[in-house]
Amino acid sequence: MQKLSARQPLVSVIIPTFNSERFLEKCLSSLKRQTYERLEIIVVDDESTDSTIGIAERYGCKIIKNPKVGRAAAKNEGVRHSFGEYLVFVDSDMELTPNVVSECIDLVESESHVGGVVIPERSVGNSFWVKVRDFERSFYAGSVVESARFFPTKLVKEVGGYEENLIFFEESTLPYKIQKKGYNVFARINSVILHHEENFSLITWLRKKYYYGKTIQVYEHKYRDYSRMQTSVGFRFYLFVKSYRRFLSRPELAFGVILLKSLEYLAMVSGAQALVGIK
C-alpha cells in the first residue's frame, strides 16, 4: 500500500454517467481499493432517472449534473471541475484492478514525453458475443486501435479535451490531439480494467454502431491520418492474421469475430448512408 503523502500528485477520476446504476457500485468500490490513494472521483451525470446519483453520493463523489449532452461533453465538463495533476477517464461499467492508477503514475513519471497511457481492458460477461469481443480485443494489444485514458491534465487542457460533435471513436480524439503535439500516447501498463458487459445484446450493439456510423465522415475528415489505421477493417484483419495460430486456436471465437466485425461494418456503413440519404 503506497502511503498517502502530499508529495503524491492528485489524480482526478472522471466518470460520465447516464442511468448507470447497474455497474457503478462495482466501479466506485474498485476505485476505493486502489493502492494509489490520492484520488478525487468526479461523476458527470446526464439527468439519470435511476439510482446513479444516490450511489455516487454514498461513495462521496464530486457530482456534476449536466443537461443531456453526451459522454464526450460530459468528460470535458469533468475536466473543468478537476483539481488533479493527472486525469483518468473511466466508464461507469469499468472495474479497475488495484494497481491501475499507481502503475500509470509510475509510468508517466519515469518516462519522458508520455502524453497518454493505455490501460488494457478485458470484457467480462458470459454471453458468446462478450467472449468474442474479449478474444478480438486481445489482438489489439499495443496497437493504435487502443486509446489512452490516463493523461497529464495540462496537456488535456491545452488541446481542449475530447471532440464533442462526433461519437464515432470519440475516445481516440483526445490522444490523437496530444500525439499531434509530439507526445507518446501509446505507453501501456500491465494492470487491467474489467469492462462489465454482462448486459451485452447484439441488437443493441449493432444499433449503437449504426448510430455511431452517422459521424464516420466527420471523424474521417478531421482525423484522416489517425483514423485510417484506427477504423480500417483491413488493419484489424491484418492483426488477426499476424497471430493466425492463436486466432485459429479458437475457431468458434475466430468465426464469431469475423461475423461480428462484418455486422458492425454493415451497421456503421448503413448509418453513414442513412445520413447521406437525408442530405
CB of 216 to ligand GTP, least distance (A): 14
Rounded CA separation 78/64 (Å)? 7
SS (H, E, C) 153-214: HHHHHHHCCCCCCCCCCHHHHHHHHHHHCCCECCEECCCCEEEECCCCCHHHHHHHHHHHHC
233 within 8 A of 261, measured Cβ to Cβ: yes
Q: For CA atoms 153, 85, 44, 33, give the dihedral sign.
A: positive
By CB under 6 A, name the binding residues for ligand GTP: 16-18, 20, 44, 46, 70-71, 74, 91-93, 208
267 within 8 A of 206, measured Cβ to Cβ: yes
Minimum CB distance to ligand GTP smaller for 105 or for 130: 130
Residue nearest to Mg ion (CB): 93
From Mg ion, ligand GTP, none, interface partner of 44 (C-beta below 5 to 8 A by class) = ligand GTP
From Mg ion, ligand GTP, none, interface partner of 74 (C-beta below 5 to 8 A by class) = ligand GTP
CB of 77 to ligand GTP, least distance (A): 9
105 within 8 A of 117, measured Cβ to Cβ: no
Minimum CB distance to ligand GTP smaller for 199 or for 249: 199
Select the residue interacting with Mg ion from 93, 103, 136, 220 (CB under 5 A): 93
From Mg ion, ligand GTP, none, interface partner of 136 (C-beta below 5 to 8 A by class) = none
122 within 8 A of 195, measured Cβ to Cβ: yes
CB of 104 to ligand GTP, least distance (A): 18
From ligand GTP, Mg ion, none, interface partner of 89 (C-beta below 5 to 8 A by class) = none
Minimum CB distance to Mg ion smaller for 93 or for 264: 93
If we measure between CA atoms, which residue out of 121, 89, 86, 91 comes closest to residue 107?
86
**Which among 73-81, 89-97, 151-159, 256-264 is the span making contact with Mg ion, rule CB under 5 A?**
89-97
From ligand GTP, Mg ion, none, interface partner of 82 (C-beta below 5 to 8 A by class) = none
Amino acid making up residue 38: R
Residues in the chain: 279
C-alpha cell at 70: 453526451
CB of 192 to Mg ion, least distance (A): 15
CB of 93 to Mg ion, least distance (A): 4
Minimum CB distance to ligand GTP smaller for 9 or for 70: 70
Rounded CA separation 157/167 (Å)? 20
List of residues contacting Mg ion (CB under 5 A): 93
